Structure 1
């Protein structure tokens, strides 16, 4: 009798352990995924763009842009060509914190045509989504030949009926535009599944915004009371507009309902964006690494490029190294613009400022409305943590504000001093 009871207890314990193990195995991995590769060009991210488009009341389409040049092509025995084997998988969750998988699938692919080709490819697939629901989709891009998995995430907003995911920008070749900005050369159209929609209300703004405050500044965040410089109506027929092209700088906010702020925004920055090539724009990003007198001199100069070059040559001690430091710094500016553009240029944002001063973070973790960056060796106690909180912004979902602390002052100036060596 005793032996049987112990056997029953063992069986119950075994079942409990199985259930615990199963619960751990299906736990949402968002909380432990390190997304640092998203902000590190040295790691050659496999995916260079993600876009969500709600094409009906029950389906959303995911567009994935990637570069074949980041894949590993292999010449196998008996084969006369190089081939890359890879897959794109997705898992759909109700939030970053949710453990329940709403939907999932894997798409296996191979390529032998684009070996050593630097072009971009786009793959798209539908997922089932319901109105009045929000989701997060986890995308896994797997390079089978290299045995590497890279993870990406994108929030899906179905609760706001007029947000940007109900509209899609395409160029003259009907290629999807993944960025939220266009150049003066870009001709594009706006597509929506709302075929009964006949007009869009457009507000044009030409406001210029300042660079981010230092991470140790405890002054209040600026509050902007924006008023459009111009308002007009854009006609839309059968779910598509005529071709548009914007020469003037500023941003254009589109709404299908004039009584709400919900809509989408197209930004038109300077001509060479995300790069900085115009001499008069060069002093701006220097604000983070210069003293007040140095920056005043740079900003007031009638020959900004010359004086910026002189600054770096004096910092470096010789011309060759000075130009290398200058190039490195403006590469950071370009990357910040690529990664963190919101209602203003990426280098002006809080994340852009931290990225330019401290470089690419060691670890990046995401939760709903918060992104955490960590710098330093996980085995050491001297690590820097930065938390960025997502702001409610009618113009963009990419507006994150740093939680500032006085303790950041010393590491900030140490990093600035390092950049100036």
Structure 2
């Protein structure tokens, strides 16, 4: 019994920790380390298999470059592991190495420069779990993402491949070279959405193509139709939707092909992510982002932004508020906004409780308002005491005590003294 008490006391008083520090975190921490996309095609020589192309896009800023001579070099390994969806049994794995070089240092730290690669895999129809892994050769850091992918059979009479979003089409001596948009991200500055797909027909025919681009969080939608002639076999299609006005959020592009003569059709879909230029990737809903400004905006400022009658008006007022916070008006990146929403994202990941998002909790409020504490002292098992934590902010000469009254991780601020509230700390 004495031994048990000794261990219990050690646990109660030895648990103290440093909460993540802003100075140690890059804003890209909450952005993907690399992007992936999956597109299915019909195979010409094997009717029992479907070709799955796996695309990778790796920003230069997320890998380690080493200077040798007058150039900078980076290497990383990519792995793709296929599992049975139901059993998690490994079916097979493929590993390969990618090498990059540049003579421009600025490119090595840029998220706008990236390396693109892809591999093709013949698969049986079925449901798969696919794990994509990147290992940086120099830093030895590993990052991975897992996806559920359903591979479906193609109809023999009329079928359509998956959609590949296109960033650019370049020409060389071999013909057209597609630069895919692997991230599937567009911005409010884009007015055209370009894409590539293939139509498979067992007979030559006139086909009606219907494109439907829907914003999933609003009633915004665009539909276009056109008629084309398709040949027997595989038909390559480059197409686009123009004069678009993207708003923040998620879109779904649905393409339907109908054989007018045989009255049969097939369709495919693609998710498109729309961002606002200059906004952190964590912002996916402008109205929620406005709500989350409660810790930095005055009630009057917040009311003014919310009173915008249209999406465009609220967005304009939102951006104008943050523009005033820029340390330098000429800066294209707003470090104050990036840091604020980085804190919001961190709070959501670490302080949610009782169904409340992390930014709405007391811990989230303090973290977003003042940033990471200088020191955290945790007391989860003290005898005759509710679990509590003490956050010390040495520069502010303040401490905040949070108590979990319920025992379910819902830590509430004890005796908040708003009269001494110093306001948002940059």
- Tell me the TM-score normalized by structure 1: 0.53
> Contact 1:182–1:266 (CA<8 Å) still a contact in 2?
no
Of 335, 345, 366, the residue aligned with 1:359 is: 345
Distance in structure 2 (CA, Å) of the matches to 1:330 and 1:154: 31
What SS does the corresponding residue of 2:200 show, helix, strand or coil? coil
Aligned partner (choices 299, 307, 316) of residue 306 of structure 2:
299
After TM superposition, give the deviation of residue 190 of structure 1 in Å: 2.0
1:93 deviates by 0.6
Cα distance in 2 for partners of 1:123, 1:58 equals 20
What SS does structure 2 have at the residue aligned with 1:249? coil
Distance 1:125 1:408 in 2: 39
Among 53, 71, 75, the residue aligned to 1:85: 75
Q: In structure 2, what is the Cα distance between the partners aligned to 1:234 and 1:417?
A: 58
Shift of 1:102: 0.8
| Corresponding position of 1:60 | 52
Work out whether 1:246 is the aligned partner of 2:208. no
1:327 aligned to 322, 334, 338, which one?
A: 334
CA 1:296–1:322 in 2, change beyond 3 Å: closer, same or farther? farther
CA 1:199–1:108 in 2, change beyond 3 Å: closer, same or farther? same
**Residue in structure 2 matched with residue 120 of structure 1 by the alignment:** 114
The alpha carbon displacement at 1:292 in A equals 8.5
Do the aligned partners of residues 114 and 42 (structure 1) sit closer, same or farther apart at CA in structure 2, a change above 3 Å counting? farther
Please say if 1:412 is aligned against 2:361. Answer: yes
Counterpart for residue 19 of structure 1: none
1:157-176 to 2 correspondences below 5 Å: 157-159=150-152, 166-170=162-166, 171-173=168-170, 174-176=178-180
Query: For the structure 1 residues 195 and 322, does the alpha-carbon distance in structure 2 shift closer, same or farther, using more than 3 Å as the test?
Result: same
CA contact (8 A) 1:68 1:114 kept: no
Shift of 1:87: 1.4
Q: Who is 1:188 aligned against? A: 194
Deviations 1:26-77 (A, max 9, x none): xxxxxxxxxxxxx97138854234333435333211111113443323457x
Pairing 1:24-39 to 2, within 5 Å after superposition: none
Instruction: Describe the superposition over 1:300-325 as per-residue Cα deviations: whole angstroms up to 9, x where unpaired.
Output: 369878965896799x9xx959999x
Q: How does 1:176-215 map to 2 (within 5 A)?
A: 176-180=180-184, 182=186, 184-186=190-192, 188-192=194-198, 194=200, 199=207, 201-204=209-212, 209=217
How many Å separate the matches in 1 of 2:315 and 2:131?
43
Contact 1:248 1:268 in 2 (8 A): no
Q: Work out whether residues 88 and 140 of structure 1, in 8 Å CA contact, stay in contact via their aligned partners in 2.
A: yes
More helix by share: 1
Residues in 2 aligned to 1:312 and 1:414: alpha-carbon distance in whole angstroms = 24
SS at match of 2:217: coil
Partner SS, residue 154 of structure 1: strand
Task: Give me the whole-angstrom Cα distance separating, in 2, the residues matched to 1:227 and 1:160.
Answer: 32
How much has 1:208 moved relative to structure 2? 8.0
Q: Is the 8 A contact 2:193 2:241 kept in 1?
A: yes
CA–CA separation in structure 2 for the residues paired with 1:59 and 1:89? 18
Question: Does the CA contact (< 8 Å) of 2:80 and 2:132 recur in 1?
Answer: yes
TM-score (norm 2): 0.53
Distance 1:202 1:275, change over 3 A: farther
SS in 2 for 1:359: helix
- The question of whether the paired residues in 2 share the 8 Å contact of 1:84 and 1:110 is answered with yes
**Normalized per residue, which structure has more strand?**
2
Alpha-carbon separation, structure 2, partners of 1:143 and 1:81: 18
Q: Secondary structure at the match of 1:175?
A: strand
**Contact residue 139 and residue 153 of structure 1 kept, 8 A:** yes
Query: Any idea what the Cα deviations from partners look like across 1:91-119, whole Å, max 9, x if unmatched?
Result: 10122x63311111211343344673342
The structure number with the bigger radius of gyration is 2
Match of 1:134 in 2: 127
Provide the residue aligned with 1:11 in structure 2. Answer: none
Structure 1: gaps spanning 5 or more residues = 1-38, 211-225, 334-354, 362-372, 376-382, 386-404
Per the TM alignment, residue 140 of structure 1 is displaced from its structure 2 partner at its CA by 1.5
Write out per-residue CA displacement over residues 135-184 of structure 1, whole angstroms, 9 at most, x where no aligned residue.
12111211122222221223322137599972223332311122445463
Which consecutive residues of structure 2, in runs of 5 or more, have no partner in the other structure? 1-25, 44-48, 171-177, 370-423
Pairwise CA RMSD of aligned residues? 5.0
Q: What does residue range 250-269 of structure 1 map to in structure 2 within 5 Å?
A: 252-256=253-257, 263-265=268-270, 267=272
Corresponding residue of 1:343: none
